[in-house]
């Protein structure tokens, strides 16, 4: 089984995917880390994440161990990820990695959970289960602000809000695989839900698709 979980930053995808992984025992891939790794590597090399040549070179040379870098969770990496993610060559370079994971889950897992922006529409349109999580921009910015603070990062709410708004615009407006809800996806607004509530709503939908 392939479970595609899409949506903007701060909607709760990571928490839901972790809960689904624990429940089903499936392999899980946070595809955003791929783009974060590319973006951060480009920055560390002194290049511009919006430079298609530099970004594609990094994407094609990306190794799995690059996903273990704690710095990938920084806001800087998130902004860089959104920029490289708008480059068609980067998306093409990372597409095979994601599809191979989905169709051949590691460690003998019987299914895969992919967390991203375009899993249900571009990466795995054949996924049996598609979820699209969303929440108001204000709620998502507050969640991200608290997350950064909890990790010891200095954060200003107004800046987090503006950065998230710009990321949304880039993700929705890119020409190649823009972030959008798949026609057969379950749209779940998490603005007023806690993690257990989101999990239960998602689980109910998954059961309706698989029984």
Per-residue pLDDT of the chain (211 residues; tens, 9 = 90+): 999 999 999 999 999 999 999 999 999 999 989 999 999 999 999 999 999 999 999 999 998 889 999 999 888 998 899 899 889 999 899 998 899 999 999 889 999 999 999 999 999 999 999 999 999 999 999 999 998 888 887 889 999 999 999 989 988 988 888 899 999 999 999 999 999 999 999 999 999 988 7
DSSP state of 7: -
The CA-based diameter of the chain, rounded to the nearest angstrom, is 51
Q: Are 141 and 163 in contact (CB under 8 A)?
A: no
DSSP state of 174: -
Strands (E), the chain: 2-6, 27-30, 112-116, 129-134, 186-189
Q: How many CA atoms lie within 13 A of 48 on its CB side?
A: 5
Domains in the chain, CATH or no CATH each: 2-200 (3.40.50.300)
Q: How confident is the model over 68-119, as pLDDT tens digits?
A: 999 998 889 988 998 998 899 998 999 988 999 999 998 899 999 999 999 9
Q: Which residues contact 70 (CB under 8 A, 6 or more apart)?
A: none
* Sign of the alpha-carbon dihedral angle for 122, 110, 21, 100: negative
Q: Are 168 and 8 in contact (CB under 8 A)?
A: yes
Q: Are 177 and 122 in contact (CB under 8 A)?
A: yes
DSSP secondary structure letters along 67-113: GG-GGGGSHHHHHHHHHHTT-HHHHHHHHHHHHHHHHS-GGG-S-EE
| Beta bridge partner(s), residue 112 | 2, 27
d(CA 167, CA 96): 24
d(CA 148, CA 135): 18
d(CA 117, CA 73): 17
pLDDT at 37: 96
pLDDT at 190: 97
pLDDT at 65: 86
- Give me the sheet containing 186-189, strands edge to edge: 27-30, 112-116, 2-6, 129-134, 186-189
The angle formed by the CA atoms of residues 204, 24 and 3, to the nearest 5 degrees, is 65
pLDDT at 169: 92
């Amino acid at each position: 089984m392939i479970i595609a979980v899409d949506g903007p930053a701060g909607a709760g995808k990571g928490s839901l995917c972790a809960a689904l992984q624990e429940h089903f025992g499936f392999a899980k891939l946070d595809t955003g880390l791929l783009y974060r790794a590319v973006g951060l590597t480009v920055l560390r090399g002194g290049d511009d994440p919006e430079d298609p040549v530099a970004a594609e070179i990094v994407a094609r040379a990306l190794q799995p161990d690059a996903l273990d870098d704690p710095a990938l969770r920084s806001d800087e990496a998130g902004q860089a990820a959104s920029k490289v993610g708008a480059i068609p060559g980067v998306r093409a370079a990372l597409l095979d990695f994601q599809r191979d994971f989905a169709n051949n889950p590691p460690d003998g897992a019987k299914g895969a959970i992919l967390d991203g922006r375009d899993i249900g529409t571009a990466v795995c349109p054949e996924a049996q289960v598609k979820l699209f999580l969303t929440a108001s921009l204000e709620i998502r910015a507050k969640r991200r602000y608290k997350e950064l603070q909890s990790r010891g990062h200095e954060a200003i709410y107004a800046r987090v809000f503006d950065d998230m708004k710009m990321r949304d615009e880039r993700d929705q407006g890119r020409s190649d695989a823009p972030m959008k809800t798949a026609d057969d996806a379950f749209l779940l607004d998490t603005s007023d839900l806690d993690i257990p509530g989101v999990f239960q709503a998602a689980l109910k939908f998954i059961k309706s698709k698989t029984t």
